Structure 1
Amino acid sequence: MAIVYKCRHCSQEIGKLDQQMVDSSMLGLDQLSSEDKRDMISYEANGDITIKSICESCEESLGSHPQYHELDYFIQ
């Protein structure tokens, strides 16, 4: 089982933790609301957990172009 962090905008893999057991509170997932958990966390068929976040490039783009916040996806 791995925990994979991917950018919600460009789908680039940001990081990966290869762990057999992970406490969700260690990752801060217990701090998320139920709605945020549904939006950000997905469980894959192979047992991996994917967490949607934002990469540095997309964060820079959003900082330079605040109107992109209105869009679900701004990378075409």
Structure 2
Amino acid sequence: MSIVYMCRHCGQEIGQLKQQRVDTSMLGLDQLTAKEKEEMVTYKPNGDVQIKAICENCEDALGHHPHYHELDFFIQ
């Protein structure tokens, strides 16, 4: 089982944790609302957990272009 962090904007893999067991509270997932979990966390058939986050490049782009926050996707 792996926990894979993917950028929600560009789709780049940010990082991956390979664990047999994971305490979701250690990842902070227990701090998310039900809606946030639905939007950010995906459970794959192979047992992997995919978490949508933001990579450094997209975070930098959002910092330089704040109006991008209004868009669901700003990278085409």
TM-score (norm 1): 0.98
Q: Deviations over 1:20-68 (max 9, x none)?
A: 1000010010000111000000011111000000000000000000110
Q: What is the match of residue 9 of structure 2?
A: 9
Aligned to 1:23, the other structure's residue is in SS state coil
Q: What is the match of residue 46 of structure 1?
A: 46
CA distance in 1, matches of 2:5, 2:25: 16
CA distance in 2, matches of 1:56, 1:16: 16
Over the aligned positions, Cα root-mean-square deviation in angstroms equals 0.4
Percent identical among aligned pairs is 66
- Segments ≥4 residues shifted beyond 4 Å: none
CA distance in 1, matches of 2:57, 2:72: 16
- Residues 1-76 of structure 1 mapped to structure 2, 5 A cutoff: 1-76=1-76
CA distance in 1, matches of 2:31, 2:65: 29
Q: State the number of aligned residues.
A: 76
Mark the runs of 5 or more structure 2 residues left unpaired by the alignment.
Answer: none
TM-score (norm 2): 0.98
Aligned to 2:68, the other structure's residue is in SS state helix
